[in-house]
Chains A and B, each alone.
Chain A
Amino acid sequence: SQTIHQWPATLVQPVGSPLSLECTVEGTSNPNLYWYRQAAGRGLQLLFYSVGIGQISSEVPQNLSASRPQDRQFILSSKKLLLSDSGFYLCAWSLSGPRLFFGSGTQLSVL
């Protein structure tokens, strides 16, 4: 069966520090991968998606970037975090249908 791993679960970082969040999917090949962010009291916002290795599409301009170095690995990065980057970050995957499967999320607090 397919599983998605996302880490760390919680992260506290100072303003201006770098960020790297990692997500891996097991049990499937060539998944579509997504990074969503959920701000307090708000719905999920799509940040990036990827249809294959090295292929990244950005949905909103921001201080973040994404990379997909391997088929089932998706990384969210920042060179310098802002206070506004705080939130709950979720990685997700899908295949050809409308079912989207989420990881357990990373709660990022930028102080």
Chain B
Amino acid sequence: QKEVEQDPGPLSVPEGAIVSLNCTYSNSAFQYFMWYRQYSRKGPELLMYTYSSGNKEDGRFTAQVDKSSKYISLFIRDSQPSDSATYLCAMSEVGGGTSYGKLTFGQGTILTVHP
């Protein structure tokens, strides 16, 4: 079993739809949870990160963490064609310093938002 499981999709939605992206994990030591967006042939860019359980909102993006279920989600409201990309979930254990950068990634979900 992989430490982090992410449905690779692909996921295709019409413009304006609400998108739900999800990851499950098995390592209960994970405390930081992140979502990255990656355009083709580019490096990932950090969208959001949360610590422990709870919700965090940033514009059209909402991240949710349910540690009891070992399940995290990213919601995109009013999706736009420019949101078309691969979305990667990532997690790390608490420890400070390089521990933050020692991320375990999901394999990514390919999202296409069509006009």
Cα distance A70–B111 in the bound complex, in angstroms: 39
The answer on a CB contact under 8 Å between A98 and B107 is no
The answer on a CB contact under 8 Å between B107 and A101 is no
A51 part of interface (Cβ distance < 8 Å): yes
Residues of B within 8 Å of A49, CB to CB, are: 98, 101-102
Interface residues of chain A: helix, strand, loop or mixed (majority): strand
Cα distance A45–B6 in the bound complex, in angstroms: 15
Residues of A within 8 Å of B103, CB to CB, are: 44, 46, 100
Q: Which residue of chain B has the shortest Cβ distance to A4 in the bound complex?
A: B43
Contact status of A43 and B4, CB under 8 A, knowing A34-B101, A97-B100: yes
Residues of B within 8 Å of A100, CB to CB, are: 34, 46, 90, 100-101, 103
A77 part of interface (Cβ distance < 8 Å): no
**Cβ distance B24 to chain A, nearest Cβ, rounded Å:** 13
Residues of B within 8 Å of A34, CB to CB, are: 98, 101-102
| Chain B interface bracket (under 10, 10 to 19, 20 to 34, 35 or more) | 20 to 34
Contact status of A92 and B101, CB under 8 A, knowing A41-B8, A44-B88: yes
Contact with A along B91-115 (1 / 0, CB 8 A): 0100011101111111110000000
B49 part of interface (Cβ distance < 8 Å): yes
Task: Count A-B contacts at CB 8 Å.
Answer: 73
The answer on a CB contact under 8 Å between B43 and A90 is yes
The answer on a CB contact under 8 Å between B100 and A43 is no
Cα distance A56–B108 in the bound complex, in angstroms: 28
Using a CB–CB cutoff of 8 Å, the interface residues on chain B facing chain A are 4, 6, 8, 32, 34, 41-46, 49, 51, 88, 90, 92, 96-98, 100-108
Q: 24 A-B Cβ contacts within 8 A?
A: A32-B101, A34-B98, A34-B101, A34-B102, A41-B107, A43-B105, A43-B108, A44-B90, A44-B103, A45-B105, A49-B102, A51-B97, A51-B98, A94-B101, A97-B100, A98-B51, A99-B49, A100-B46, A100-B101, A102-B45, A104-B42, A105-B41, A105-B42, A105-B43
